[in-house]
Amino acid sequence: DGGITQSPKYLFRKEGQNVTLSCEQNLNHDAMYWYRQDPGQGLRLIYYSQIVNDFQKGDIAEGYSVSREKKESFPLTVTSAQKNPTAFYLCASTIGRGQYGYTFGSGTRLTVV
């Protein structure tokens, strides 16, 4: 299924709760990314990692955290500090630096209840 797996597909969060979105790839890609998709706003970068044990903030990192302990895995935690977390979250990977397109996961739809 494209080599990059996101889980769960749907996630419901209560107010004040932290939740973690999973992203796993078996493409041997070095770089991994998290984007948030809201209607009419395209894809906005949350965090990215170009190598294990290193990651950088994107444009909308506040209220989110990540880790990159393994090359294959790049989980995203949505913390209670994120005031408007309801969105579609997409994980992507690419082979590394340079001019290569992304492979996207199938996404996680997060809803606050």
* Residues found near another protein in the complex (CB under 8 A): 2, 31, 33, 35, 40-45, 48, 50, 58-59, 90, 94, 96-102, 104-107
In the complex with another protein, which residue's Cβ is closer, 45 or 80? 45
- Can the peptide bond before residue 39 be classed as cis, meaning omega within 30 degrees of 0? no
Q: Quote the least distance from Cβ 47 to another protein, whole Å.
A: 11
Q: Quote the least distance from Cβ 49 to another protein, whole Å.
A: 11
What residues contact 24, with CB distance under 8 A and at least 6 apart? 4, 5, 72, 73
In the complex with another protein, which residue's Cβ is closer, 11 or 104? 104
Q: Quote the least distance from Cβ 34 to another protein, whole Å.
A: 12
